[in-house]
Amino acid sequence: MNEKLFKYKLYVKNNNDVSFTPETLAKIQTIISHYPDGQHKSALIPILHIAQEELGGSLNVDIMDYVAGLLNITPIEVYEVATFYSQFYIDPVGKYVIEVCQTGPCAICGGEDIMNYLEEKLKIKVGETTGDKLFSLKAVECLGACGSAPVMQVNTEFHEFLDMQKIDEIIAKLRNESELTKPEELTWKERLS
Amino acid sequence: MFKVTIDNKSIEVEPGTTILQAARMIGGDVVPPAMCYHSELKNSGGKCRTCMVKVSQGSEKDPRPMPKLVASCSTEVMDGMVVQNITSPEVVEARKAVAEFLLINHPLDCPVCDQAGECDLQNLSYENGSNASRFEEEKRTYEKMDIGDLIQFHPNRCILCYRCVYAADQLTENRVHGVLYRGEKSEISTFIHQAIENDFSGNMIDVCPVGALTDKTFRFKNRVWFLKPMDAHRSCSKCSGKAAVWFRGDEVYRVTGRKDIYGEVHDFICNECRFEKKNSADWIIEGPRKIESYSVINQNHYKNIVIPSVINPIKETME
Amino acid sequence: MERKIILENIEIDGIRLLEVYRENGGYKSIEKALKTMTPDEVVAEVKTSGLRGRGGAGFPTGMKWSFIDKKSGNPRYLVCNADESEPGTFKDRYLLEHIPHRLIEGMICSAYALGANKAYIYVRGEFKSIIGILNEALKECYKAGLLGKNILGSGYDLDLHVHTGAGAYICGEETALLESLEGKRGNPRLKPPFPAIKGLYGCPTVVNNVETLANIGWIVNNSGEEYAKIGIGRSTGTKLISACGNINNPGVYEIELGLPVEEFIYSDKYCGGVKGGKELKAVIPGGSSVPILPKNLILNTLAGEKRLMSYESLSEGGFITGSMLGSGGFIVYDEDACIVRNTYNFSRFYHHESCGQCSPCREGTSWLESVLHRIENGQGKMKDIDLLVSIASKIEGNTICPLGDAAAWPVAAAVRHFRSEFEFHVLHPEIVKNVKHGSLEKYLEIPVLTAE
């Protein structure tokens, strides 16, 4: 098996209807207004953050084409950007995306052990999603919190000075919360405008 | 006018001229190779790093040398600039490095590649490559991707020069492919299932410096060095109609744009001319194309070729 | 000597809020700059201060400002680089989280000096909470008339907005940041033209680091001359150092430039010594991109002088026996740290973060990672060590942006100072396979080599 074979699948447009709520659309107009006239493409990354959060946790072709339409740019311009930045997920992910920092300072403070423990606990490997679609586990590079290593983020919520016990608590809390409606305090939309 | 000296040869050029353009005006050995720059495509260049040169004097006014090697395709000349290309060991070393980097993941499948014989990377590695590879890892490979009936796409051979992206952007109305993902995993792709089809998509084949984008209608039909390219034209409503038509005997095997000695096409042709006019009656033949004497395409085809002056002394000695 | 400029008053409860910040002397510089000084006078003060870019390169800020094209007639932009992603660096995050108004105050003065009426703060996407904090702070400022039209009745207008990235280290490079701000892939641009001539939307633009801009308020209030008195030689002022790794007190410290490295590592006011009473093995003083130095060379220069926390002292000896102050990401390794594994780890980082635009970086970073992966896993050969040095030297200087250099330097330095450890990995694959962390010297009789 050639492990360097990059299997990029070509994606399919399902022509599902996707759209933001009127409230979100108004927020997006505010964000676009932050940039000079004619430079609305600048709002692409902020809008993709909102789209990913509000339209199902990842970006599929329908969502990206919808965003392209909103900004009046070609779909390929959105695909190019969405695949470049590591915070955008093209393939479906679980409700909670756990991203564990693996870079130097975290690694020497036990980041690798944290990852092993999570793999064991969630019974999945890095890059996989649990069967109940609750957790996805990802290895990421430096999160900029090296002073509180090891760190991880769950849907951009930081967790610092991790150890096995803390991991147990966080996972248990998320399992409980997932039965409630919305766990996070502030959304991208609210933070960005 | 700015005076610029490249490898001890001087020329006066307009302000705004790049070092590469100035070198091409001088011609010969002082011209750095270029894989990603294409003079007809805006914003192209700077990426492959094969054309890097040393600026040993910035200008007459500020004679300090530039601290790093610069990409000659995107650095404008200054008055009194002194540039070293092959006279600088540093430049030769860097070019070898770039050739090595471009080749480590490039399949060495020239014997089955349609681009062989007219491939910029093949030429670059012939001049700057080493005989053995130091790369022991497995090469990067991609799954095959079908982008339509006219263009054959081999992602493994792509060197990410971005020329086809600029061509699609600037020659066609709706670009549907681009560079996706990041870093070593970058690739040219359409992302969704779709063919790249529009009147000028075939030019992506001509601007591709390697065998990543080749003519599907010519695939495995013949070797370029068995063919005889002729300058020919026809009246076409979509494009200039100025093309190179590749014959074997009386049969037309393929039609391409007319590449100059730097592999650049200046008159882009439409897909009708390229893919549909494969009958010699479709074309008005102007005469055989001038091919550089070193090109394999030249072998055994033309008589009375002019041997460049550099070779003359050797020839004389031999005689 | 304790000297607080950027983190002054950070201990005060509620300093994140505009009201508290103003009660403690905040935004005085705006009044002074906008009402009593011309833009050129502000630039002159910054030049006099000797302030140097705090993002890593250390370029004099006043000089960078003076390059901005004022003749073109195009609008000018100020962009704050808050895309802090250099491994080992977390100073800007700390500053923005606790005292966001320090940055905004500095940005208003700076934008005024540059004649910019629009400014952006580019925050990395992972700092979602910081984006919220900044937007709250900006709203407060708009309400108080510190931003928007006719600021404090001075006739000067400024719009300041937050922009977010989405996970790409390369966007910390200023031209990649501008591309990203324009809604494109973060591919660095070819330079020249520099952003001061053609930056954001093709207009003259200055991009400065968060910490750099946070200094400007103080300089306006107290004059550039006063600022230049702080620090040592051409390293004026204070610097935020984010200390992490195997130390007792990881965290962000504001130090006066010129503090001895030894004091910074061992004093209880700062790092508090190596964790667990272990021996110090090595330090990366300025974020993962700068060369690693073994204990003897980080504490003293080759000439035997005490190494100081300053741009000049840390780079004393060039890349043979010196390093760089860089972004101030101070990573400390104890005696048990495995340098090979650490180097592999950073190589993986640069491989992952390379934008893939130019060939030496795209191909070279992946090659470095593969070779280091082999050595780390006990499948390396002796010639692989020289191969690493060779690949690194072929990437360095041949790329569009400094990421190529940043990927090459740590590898070259690790092999230079810790070659024996690489050789150990090659010679003792059976031990390496089992020992993931820990000093390999304990298995060896030979001492660590130093470059002499």
**Domain C232-334: assigned CATH number:** 3.10.20.600
The end-to-end CA distance of chain C, in Å, is 34
Mean pLDDT of C352-367: 95
Cβ atoms within 10 Å, residue A135 = 24
Report the alpha-carbon distance of residue C103 to residue C100 in Å, rounded. Answer: 6
Intra-chain end-to-end CA distance of chain A, in Å: 48
CA atoms of B168 and B176, how far apart (whole Å): 8
Residue C257 banded pLDDT, cuts 50, 70, 90: very high
Class of domain C18-229: alpha beta
Q: Are residues A101 and A171 in the same domain?
A: yes
In-domain check, residue B69: yes
Report the residue of chain B nearest A1, measured CA to CA.
B138
Q: What six digits make up the tokens of C233?
A: 């030689």
Q: Is A124 within a domain?
A: yes
Is the entire prediction scored with pTM above 0.90? yes
**Percentage of the residues of chain A whose pLDDT score is greater than 90:** 67
- Burial pattern C302-333, b for ≥16 Cβ within 10 A else e, equals eeeeebbbbbbbbbbbebebbbbbbbbbbbbb
Q: Which residues contact B96 (CB under 8 A, 6 or more apart)?
A: B128, B129, B130
Q: Which CATH number belongs to the domain containing residue A102 in this structure?
A: 3.40.30.10
B126 and B191, same structural domain?
Answer: yes
Interface probe, candidates A84, A97, A185, chain C, greatest C C-beta count within 10 A? A84
Which residue has better confidence, C377 or C180?
C180
Cβ atoms of B117 and B225 closer than 8 Å: yes
- Nearest-10 crossing angle of helices B120-128, B89-104: 130
Residue A89 covered by a domain: no
Top residue of C169, C359, C403 to mutate, by most chain B CBs within 10 Å, is C359
Distance CA C339, CA C440 (A): 9
Helix (H) or strand (E) holding B124: helix B120-128
Does pLDDT of B205 surpass 80?
A: yes
| Residue B310 forms part of a structural domain | no
Same domain, B235 and B274: yes
Residue C268: CB atoms within 10 Å:
9
Domain harbouring B183, CATH code = 3.30.70.20
Tell if the CB–CB gap between B185 and A74 is shorter than 8 Å: no
Confidence check: pLDDT of A3 > 70: no
Asked whether residue A50 is domain-assigned, the answer is yes
In a domain, A1, yes or no: no
Give CA–CA dist C398/C393, Å, rounded.
9
Q: Is the confidence metric ipTM above 0.90 for this complex?
A: yes
Q: What pLDDT band is residue A4 in, cutting at 50, 70 and 90?
A: low
User: CA B57 to CA C416: how far, in whole Å?
Assistant: 33
Q: Which two tokens stand for residue B296?
A: 């394999």
CA distance A22 to chain C (A): 22
**Domain locations in chain C as residue ranges:** 18-229, 232-334, 339-443
Residue A8 counted as domain residue: no
Question: What is the reported pLDDT for B225?
Answer: 86
Burial status of residue A127 (CB atoms within 10 A of its CB: 0-12, 13-18, 19 or more): exposed
> Which residues touch B222 (CB under 8 Å, ≥6 apart)?
B248, B253
In this predicted structure, the answer to whether residue B312 has a pLDDT above a threshold of 70 is: no
Beta bridge pairs of residue C48: none
- Mean pLDDT of all residues in chain A? 89
Written in H, E and C, the secondary structure of A83-125 is HHCCCCCCCCCCCEEEEEECCHHHHHCCHHHHHHHHHHHHCCC
- Inter-chain CB proximity A12 and B141 less than 8 Å: no
Interface test with B, best of A3, A6, A14 (most B CBs within 10 A): A6
Q: Domain boundary at A30, A51, A84, which?
A: A84
- pLDDT computed for residue C430 by the predictor: 81
3-state secondary structure of C198: coil
CB contact under 8 A, C352 and A141: yes
User: Would you say domain C339-443 falls under CATH 1.20.1440.230?
Assistant: yes
The verdict on B154 and B204 lying in the same domain is yes
Confidence of residue C404 (pLDDT cuts 50, 70, 90): very high
In terms of pLDDT, which residue wins out, B60 or B311?
B60
Which residue segment(s) compose the domain that B211 sits in? 106-130+140-218
Residue holding tokens 């360097």?
A4
CA–CA gap between residue B162 and residue C391 (Å, rounded): 24
Domain that holds residue A109: 96-177
Of the candidates C289, C285, C358, the residue with the CA atom closest to the CA atom of residue B51: C358
Minimum-distance CB partner of B192 among A5, A10, A84: A10
Contact B101 C190 (CB under 8 A): no
Considering the domain boundaries, does residue A136 fall inside one? yes
Compute the distance between CA of residue C25 and CA of residue C448 in angstroms, rounded to an integer.
52
What backbone phi and psi angles, to 5 degrees, belong to B89?
-60, -30
Phi and psi of C393, rounded to 5°? -70, -25
Check pLDDT > 60 for residue C438. Answer: no
Instruction: Report pLDDT digits (tens) over B10-45.
Output: 999 999 999 999 999 999 889 999 999 999 999 999
- The β-bridge relationship of strands A152-154 and A157-159 is antiparallel
The shortest CB-CB distance from A10 to any of B139, B145, B175 is to: B145
CB burial string C71-95: b at 16+ within 10 A, e below: eeebebbbbbbbbbbbbbbbbbbbb
CB-CB contact of A51 with A67 (8 Å): yes
Residue C431 has a pLDDT of 79
pLDDT of B299 over the 90 cut: no
H or E element that contains C9: none
pLDDT at A72 (0 to 100): 95
Residue B314: pLDDT band (50, 70, 90) is very low
Considering the domain architecture, whether residues A107 and A35 belong to the same structural domain is answered as no
Sheet holding A157-159, edge to edge: A135-140, A96-101, A152-154, A157-159
Domain assignment of residue A119, yes or no: yes
Inter-chain contact A10–B190, Cβ cutoff 8 Å?
yes
Tokens of B17: 């001229």
- Record: contact A41-C84, CB cut-off 8 A: no
Same domain (yes/no): A79, A119: no
Quote the CA–CA distance of B91 and B114 in Å, as a whole number: 31
Total H helices, total E strands in chain B: 7, 14
A186 — pLDDT class (breaks 50, 70, 90): confident
Question: What is the mean pLDDT of the segment spanning C35-55?
Answer: 95
C447 token code pair: 């001492």
pLDDT at A1 over 50: no
| Average pLDDT of chain B to the nearest whole number | 89
Mean pLDDT, rounded, for B206-213:
95
Q: Name the domain boundary from B218, B241, B263.
A: B218
Strand intervals (E) in C289-366: 293-294, 308-309, 329-334
For residue B316, is pLDDT > 90?
A: no
Residue among A80, A147, A157 minimizing CB distance to C252: A147
pLDDT at site A8: 77
C-beta atoms surrounding A189 within 10 Å: 22
Cross-chain residue pair B181–A61, CB shorter than 8 Å: no
Q: Which of B166, B187, B218 is the last residue of a domain?
A: B218
Instruction: Identify whether residues A116 and A173 lie together within a single domain.
Output: yes
Q: Does position C409 have pLDDT exceeding 60, yes or no? A: yes
Q: Is the dihedral of CA A153, A155, A157, A162 positive or negative?
A: negative
- Identify the pLDDT of residue A178: 65
Tell me the mean pLDDT in the region A152-171.
Answer: 91
What is the dihedral angle through the alpha carbons of C238, C242, C245, C248, rounded to the nearest 10 degrees? 70
Backbone angles phi, psi at C290, to 5 degrees: -90, 160
Beta carbons of A76 and A27 less than 8 angstroms apart: no
The answer to whether the CB atoms of A8 and B181 lie below 8 A apart is yes
The chain B residue lying nearest C358, using CA atoms, is B47
* Helix, strand, coil content of chain B in percent (nearest 5): 25, 20, 55
Query: Does residue A130 lie within any of the structural domains?
Result: yes
Q: CB C367 to CB B160 under 8 A?
A: no
Asked if C65 and C46 count as a contact pair (C-beta separation under 8 A), the reply is: yes
Question: How many independent structural domains does chain A possess?
Answer: 2
Q: What is the domain count for chain B?
A: 3
- Condensed to tens digits (0 to 9), the pLDDT of residues A43-94 reads 999 999 999 999 988 999 999 999 999 999 999 999 999 999 999 999 999 9
Other C-beta atoms lying within 10 Å of the C-beta of residue B314:
10
pLDDT digits (tens, 9 = 90+) for B106-118: 998 888 999 998 8
> Does C337 touch chain A if contact means CB atoms closer than 8 Å?
yes
**For residue B137, pLDDT beyond 80:** yes
Chains in contact with chain A (at least 3 beta-carbon pairs closer than 8 A): B, C
The token pair at C256 is 């006066």
Calpha distance A156→C123 (Å, rounded): 13
Mean pLDDT of the region B296-301: 60
| pLDDT tens-digit readout, C290-347 | 999 999 999 999 999 999 999 999 999 888 999 999 999 999 999 888 899 999 999 9
Give one DSSP letter per residue of C119-160, joined into a string. EEEEE-TT-HHHHHHHHHHHHHHHHTTSSBSSGGGSS--BEE
